[in-house]
Chain A
Amino acid sequence: MRVRLFFYFLILHFFIQACRPAGNKEEVVVRTAADPESLNPISFTTANTAQIVALLYQSLLTIDLQDQQLKPLLAEQLPTVVQAKDKSFITYRLRNEAVWDNNKPITAQDVAFTLKVIKAPLVNNETMRAALEYVHDIKLDATDPKKFTIECDSYTPNMSWEIGDFAILPAYVVDPQQLLEKFTLPELENQYDSLKSHPKIKAFAAWFNSARFTRDTAYLKGSGGYRLSDWKTGQYVKLKKKQHWWAERLSPSLAYITAYPAQINFQIVPDNTTALLALNNEQLDVYAGIPATSFVQLQSEASFQKKYALYTPSTYDFTFIGINGRHEKFADKRTRQAIGYLLDIPRMIQVSMGSFAVPTVGIVNPADKIYYNDSLRPYTLNLAEARRLLHAAGWTEKNKGWQKLINGQIIPLTITFNYKEGNSEFENIAFIFRQAAAKLNIPVNVQPVEAGLLNKRIQAQDFEVAVRYLSGNPGIFNFRPILHTENADLQEQNFTGFGTPESDRLIENISETTDQKKRVALLRKLQKVMQEESNLLFLYFNTDRIAIHKRFTNFKISAAKPGYDISSFQLKSD
């Protein structure tokens, strides 16, 4: 009997061992929460896909995670900008060493081709096309095939970064039949609608929108240090280092252009608990966004700390509550401010973020000390102040509730509070808010809504109060799309209806000014105006929670996404 038991145990042990992946020392295994769905460098949608695309393709410029500075990648140096009356001309030169996989040089033609793909009708390029709508033409240098000038509308400091931020496509792979050859950028822009019926445009769109350029290893080829080697939907995306990558021939070599790991394996693990188990079994090398409670637990385990290094970089992701300022109940800013005084932000941070977040007064990260307006105070739970403001806004307390005469009708003060279904962070925020509101007899109807439906409702401005999450980048000061009144119509991003003539002026000046001192003053003023208006009640900026296996070094932990530079990971030489 015992022998049999022992035999069974052996078999079980054998199976358990067989289930473990054979550890590849040269491979970095990264946890990713969702399947990328599409790796098309022009039309990919999710943030975690950007990390993979950036390993396959390169842009003109990049952010060096070491010092968070903008640096030239495919370009030789940062661009030169010439400003004319209402135009600006941004000139780049590509590196001499930069070549495609077929050893043909990367030229200005490829950049022009990429811009054509971004501007072409029928191609799935909506997001990119909207982001680069101020780009009108590209002029290639007659004598130097590596040099070109991009012509844009009037200059804003964000432009040089945005124009340096898209993946440059190899024309010989993406358009072997040279279907876009004959078209110029101004033509694609000006004849956008009529060209939709052009056979060549139709043919190219059908070719480029197909699965070839979303997941096919033969077609997803860029100038990055890695090529896509395998992708099993819902399981993993594997990248292999290229044999003779052009950047290895750079001399002197640059510390921010790297491809050290021989293989990178993005393991798709949707469930946090499963990911934690895998981490504890050393089946993952990198896990970012660890749930707060688990992270605190890991911090206290000495055995775990021997294997993994833990980091908590600040991020540019923030959580805020948007109030529909167009709604009759919340049209008065004092009502919105009163809602602000119902926010117990420290408790929200403690409960829903496990204390891994920093309270903020506005859209600027408190880590950016020069821009952050430290003369303001984040909202605190203050029922007396909330009550005072409600009275000031014309609400009266009647039979265990609040009401106000609006347009001849008595409207009770109730709040419908929406958030994305299944998000426990938002669920806790809603709970804490509802509890505070109950103390003032304001009924809060909490409604979790499915993500897609919630987006639709918010775009249709059919909501009262919703908790949202936004992701930013360091050094980006273009708040036009989300805060300017010109973008406050239906289906646009300024969904709370925020904006005054003053705030619009501030936003315009912030994005246009090149004078640092002036920008600081303007940004601080904008934070003050935004707190005054309170269409957006800012809660906190998240702090990331990352674990990386200690067999590697050189992580370049940073506040810029994704928080670490995987291409620079090196095996420890012990």
Chain B
Amino acid sequence: MSPQQNKTGKWRWPERLAGGYLLLFLLMAVVVPATGLIQHPYENTQSGPSYQPPYIFSFSTSGNSTNIYWLGTDRVGQDVLAILIFGARTALVVSLPAMLLATIMGVVLGSLAGFWGNSGIRVSVAACVLGLSGLLAAGYYAFCVRQVHWLNAFQSGTFSILQELGIAFTIFTGFGIIGWLLTTVAIKIGLKKTITLPIDHFVLRAIEITGAIPRLLLIMCLIAFAKPALVNVVVLAALTYWTSIARLVRGELLQVKELPYIEAAQVAGIANWRILLKQALPNALPPVIVAIAFGLGNLISLEATLSYLGIGIPAYEASWGKLIKGILQNPKAWWLVVFPALTLCFTILSLQIMAERLLKKLSPRQQQF
């Protein structure tokens, strides 16, 4: 083992702290709510007194053991500790799926752009024309014609949105099959001219357009139309967070593509998509993993921001941001800000520290920070 690797392998104390904290966070967010030891703050039918200061700072011997509020209570007498624990769950429920979706979108689009570039994909003119008109028609039928249904779906909740998405998917698939059949016919009758598809160009424009609008503003505008539901937040966050991943994957693949072993594989006649999946992507992924860790922190703070502003997050989801908002109604209740702000800071900081550690581990060349 080289000394450098030693250096990476060793856990420095901030990293240990961060790792320990994240484990605790996961334990709190996943295990504790499932055990039923602590009731969901908004399902609890027994409230305590409003604005009870935290017991740990009260130094009083009053209060029986059944209702000691270690971190105090909020305006309606709910336990701040319970809100913190269930708020952690909410943060996780929003950030993980959103990041997963964003990663899938980012990796797919980034690979297309980076690996094939502007000249890697050749399609027949017939396929292009038919595909484009099919896409437009499908878009028209799935979104314009059904816009009333979409609005209703967003107003009425999660299941209806998934149903609408299913219908849209069916429409697109249907048009895809029809397009493919027509293309086959067209090629059969002699329309064999092909052109290159500037996929890189398209993806870059999409990244620029999405990036041009301030993210929070865009999400706020979109969520204003929808009924508050976690699924809406997840979907909209994913639609705006894929760009950084896509850009990273594209950049890495542009580098990796030029490496000798990829060229060798191409010469050997292995199919492009296999080279991409087996050789190129695994080497391009390390920075993406780091970006995911950073992105999770961003999404957790986005969830807190949205719930603080009172948009998008349903009324009875425990959330750190909503807890902080309580200070507006009683500036003296410091515990409503201090504890959630600390958990928020520690979570994001720990994610950043772990992301840095991953970065070091995955690319030993870049160790001198």
Contact = CB atoms under 8 A, between A and B. Distances in A.
Interface of A: 272-273, 276, 291, 293-294, 297, 350-351, 421-422, 424, 427-428, 430-432, 434-436, 438-439, 446-448
A439 B44 CA distance: 10
A419 to B, nearest CB: 9
A368 B51 CA distance: 34
13 contacts: A272-B328, A293-B332, A294-B331, A350-B50, A351-B77, A424-B328, A424-B329, A427-B315, A435-B47, A438-B43, A439-B45, A446-B316, A448-B310
Given A350-B50, A446-B315, A448-B315, A428 B76 contact: yes
A351 B331 contact: no
B91 to A, nearest CB: 21
B75 interface: yes
B145 to A, nearest CB: 25
B76 A431 contact: yes
Interface string B40-59: 00111101001100000000
A438 B50 contact: no
B330 interface: yes
Nearest to A424: B329
Q: Which of the four size classes fits the interface of chain B?
A: 10 to 19
A559 to B, nearest CB: 25
Contacts of A294: 330-331
From DSSP, what is the main secondary structure of chain A's interface residues? helix
Nearest to B44: A435
Contacts of A430: 315
Contacts of A436: 45
Given A434-B316, A448-B228, 14 more contacts: A272-B328, A293-B329, A293-B331, A293-B332, A297-B332, A351-B50, A424-B329, A431-B42, A432-B76, A435-B44, A438-B43, A438-B45, A446-B315, A448-B310
Interface in B69-104: 75-77
A207 to B, nearest CB: 37
A488 to B, nearest CB: 27
Contacts of B76: 351, 428, 431-432
B45 A293 contact: no
Contacts of B42: 431, 434
Contacts of B50: 350-351
Contact of B75 (A421, A428, A446, A447): A428
B71 to A, nearest CB: 19
A291 B329 contact: yes
Contacts of A446: 315-316
A436 B310 CA distance: 24
Contacts of A273: 328, 331
A294 B50 CA distance: 15
Nearest to B51: A293
Contacts of A424: 328-329
A291 B328 CA distance: 10
A422 B329 contact: no
A421 B310 contact: yes
Contacts of B45: 435-436, 438-439
Contacts of A422: 310
Given A421-B310, A424-B329, A435-B47, A351 B315 contact: no
A447 B310 CA distance: 12
Nearest to B310: A422
